[in-house]
Chains A and B, each alone.
Chain A
Amino acid sequence: MEFGFTEEQEKLRKDVRDFFMNEMPEDFEPGVETMFSLTKEQTEFWMTFQKKTGEKGYLTPGWSEETGGLGLGPIEQGIVEEEWGRTGGRWPNFSGLHIAGPAVQVFGTEEQKKKFLPGIAKGEAVWNQAFTEPEAGSDEANQQLRAVEDGDNYVLNGQKTFITTYVKPDYLYTLARTADTEPKHRGISLFLVPGDAPGVSYRALGSMGFGTQVDIFYDNVKVPKENLLGELNRGFYHAMSAFEFERSGTGGPASAKRSLEEFVEFCKETMRNGKPLMEDPEVRRSVAQMAIDIEVQRLIAWHAVWWFSEREKLGPKPYDLSGFFTKIFSTQHPETMMNIMGLYGQLRTGSKWAKFAGKVERRWQIARSVHPAGTLEVNKIVLAGRGLGLPRVPAKFNKQIAKALGEKK
């Protein structure tokens, strides 16, 4: 085993860190910034920042040079991601970078790659994943949004919900039902829908912490056939395997580590009963435990990156614990910090009495949303089923069970 990096990789890390540190404005406070109601200036700032990063190739370092990347390997991509995570900033185009881009890379035609990838790599485009529907949450295959063939187009009708976005999207990476099949997931296709196509409309959805979610309505939206991604009716499989190609999740732990470093500073400087908080045995223990939790997350994330870099030899990864740990710890940690701060923990950013800039309160609210990419419970079922091979009720019996339950009522 080897947990270090080569000299070249360390140099890359230093370059990337210098770039981000020099570009990030000194008055930017990660975790306090008002991301959820982006003003005109803020939107422009983040888009500009994204473009600057794209020019350096740091948005997609793992992509080939002709698609706008740097042609580096997964480990290098993990390093870049980690450094970005440390700054605590957010890409307006996080969906495009993490999900839609890799999917186009793998399943797109040459024309689609030429058309879509450079925009993502240069940081000009904003993509959104539009998967979740009112009736398709944990059960992603229960897509109701219909796509009906009509000459050279598909016509889409239906609704998406809980779609996280900071700015107006240029493209919606949309799952839609193209056939009524049994099992459900064999009749779903992937469409790349322009965000301003006639018939697409948005409704803001306030939510805790970051109110960045919207409903998306598709009303007779015409999508040309060349915007079908991959094979017809294989969209669900494409989407699931594209998750395998998701960029590394090393950013999250790095961001958490920085937050903890800030919290440690706060604990060293803040007095309680005439002593710094950090000298309180309870606080020390909690902080140490959090540091270890984050280290676990970091190693699990790197394990996934390493596996991906060796996938030719190792085959597909049987299970991944990143989401599982992230969901647990990102819920526990703000709770722990809040407990340390007592009554002051509830004060929000902007209150003159708020300690630690109200960051903990914000994180606590955001931590109510650990469900994206599947709730913790769904994660456990996947781990148990796919990872450990435990049995589950075959889907074909679900209707019978539902019927039997109905008869009991």
Chain B
Amino acid sequence: MDFSLNEEQAKLQKEAREFLEKECPESFVREMEDGDKGFSPELWNKMAEMGWLGLVYPEKYNGKGGSFADLSVVYEEMGRAMLPSPHLSTVVLCGLTILEAGTKEQKADLLSKIVAGDLILSLALTEPESSFDGKAWEAEGVNVRATPDGDDYIIDGTKLFVHDAHIADYLLCVTKTRDSANPEDDITLFLVDASDPGVSCEILETTAGDKQSEVNFNKIRVAKENIVGELHKGWPPLEKVMQKGAVLLCSEMVGAGQRVLEITVDYAKTRIQFDMPIGINQYIQDHCAFLLSEVDAARWLTGQAVWKISEGQPCDMEAAMAKAWTSDSHERACWRGHQVLAGVGYTVDKGVLPLYSRRAKTKQLYLGDSAYHLEKAARQIEKWPGPEKFRGKAVGLWDIPKEEQIPYWEPWKKRWEEKEGKK
């Protein structure tokens, strides 16, 4: 048991915080939100120099060979700074899938480019109808087909809520390539060149003002060399990586939540009304105490999931618990902040809280909301063995008829006699 960061991670955290305070101030976050790109290639290159793009990749791809826990430290700081970047899409959701499932050539070619910051990828998984049916993150929800045609495949259909598609060089398109009994055995991953004229992309207006897109694949032709990994076997590696992505989102939310807590408490201490700081009022204290509890609980649940992943242990339950709790908890934390900051938290030009609470919505929904992850947890809970049985000799002391339950100790006996005596 150890709830602290190790020395290296503490150093990494300090570096990341200093870097982001300098490179990603609030003004930059606003600028990116209002711009078309939603990210800055210069900053992306600086992140590559920091080694953030290859943090968890093996050294043979020029990565740092770091652990998943290191990555989570960086993500916590990214959440704190609200860094707008395609890191999750490129490095984690697509990059780790390639690392997990890709061929030797694909890994050699693509991963070192990602590490160098020369390649941006985006995961095209979710679809209009299945997202509404609650199957967005399941194999069952993949209906965009890739139909074989000679040595190539033809992909036709629409993907929705695709993060960072507008700036991606390649899209990792999740397609259905056959109809077997189990949808998880029918999924194939294709790398699609985003500059293909048959691929069109339209940015969606979202709560967070982040750049999610509708991507249309209009009967495009993709060579079979572009299959990542093997035909029909795309789902298991992707699922594994999405779990990691969900936990990293939790890390982001923990970092953001910590900042919301600081902003809120600071305001409660410094805002004077009725000649006193408003933090003296117990309603305000209630909000702050709850906010603290939300952030702390999320931190340790996430920490546990991160640790399990780092150790390579199965973590279906831990990851589901972390994402289910943190999604809603971060939303609640921001709401508490709004109650305390009131008008100041509603003003968009000066207030920083709206930036956090709008981003909370994206993270809450992305890679599965709490309902989805509660279901995942429920599936694990069903496998629980019943509690172990006691093995001691039966003593027959528990099912005593009421009239024989005479208390031993005097004050209780007296009370019992008074009550029973009336009967």
Contact = CB atoms under 8 A, between A and B. Distances in A.
Interface of A: 1-5, 21-29, 32-34, 37-43, 45, 75, 78, 86-87, 167-168, 202-204, 206, 214, 258, 261-262, 264-265, 268, 278, 284-285, 287-289, 291-292, 295-296, 299-300, 302-303, 305-307, 309-310, 319, 321, 324-325, 350, 377, 379-381, 383-385, 387-393
B382 A278 contact: yes
Interface residues of B, number: 71
A291 B279 contact: no
A75 B1 contact: yes
A325 B416 contact: no
A167 B389 CA distance: 27
A3 B384 contact: no
Contacts of B396: 27
B297 A296 contact: yes
Contact of B321 (A3, A42, A45, A292): A292
Contacts of A5: 1
A384 B288 contact: yes
A34 B408 contact: no
Nearest to A393: B280
A1 B297 contact: no
A35 to B, nearest CB: 10
A392 B280 contact: yes
21 contacts: A1-B2, A21-B391, A24-B390, A26-B389, A27-B394, A38-B407, A39-B397, A41-B395, A167-B409, A202-B410, A204-B414, A204-B415, A214-B411, A262-B386, A268-B382, A288-B378, A292-B321, A300-B296, A303-B300, A325-B293, A390-B277
Contact of B395 (A27, A214, A261, A324): A27
B405 A37 contact: yes
Contacts of A305: 1
Contacts of A387: 289, 292
B333 interface: no
B4 interface: yes
A183 to B, nearest CB: 19
Given A37-B416, A284-B378, A384-B288, A390 B269 contact: yes
B377 interface: yes
B406 interface: yes
Nearest to B2: A2
A202 B285 contact: no
Contacts of A295: 301, 321
A129 to B, nearest CB: 17
B285 A380 contact: yes
Contact of B406 (A32, A39, A261): A39
A3 B304 contact: yes
Interface in B279-293: 279-280, 282, 284-286, 288-290, 292-293
A37 B304 CA distance: 42
A390 B288 contact: yes
Given A289-B374, A302-B1, A22 B391 contact: yes
B132 interface: no
B60 interface: no
Given A38-B407, A387-B292, A287 B381 contact: yes
B3 interface: yes
Contact of B3 (A1, A261, A384): A1
A25 B280 contact: no
Interface in B362-381: 371, 374-375, 377-378, 381
Contact of B276 (A41, A78, A391): A391
The 6 closest A-B pairs by CB, nearest first: A384-B285, A299-B300, A24-B390, A390-B279, A284-B378, A2-B2
Given A25-B390, A296-B297, A306-B3, A204 B398 contact: no
Interface string B391-423: 111111111101011111111101110000000
A2 B377 CA distance: 22
Given A39-B407, A389-B265, 18 more contacts: A1-B4, A3-B307, A4-B307, A24-B391, A28-B392, A202-B411, A204-B415, A214-B411, A264-B381, A264-B382, A288-B324, A289-B374, A383-B285, A383-B288, A384-B288, A390-B265, A390-B288, A391-B276
A340 to B, nearest CB: 13
A12 to B, nearest CB: 13
Given A1-B69, A39-B407, A26 B293 contact: no
A381 B384 contact: no
B300 A292 contact: no
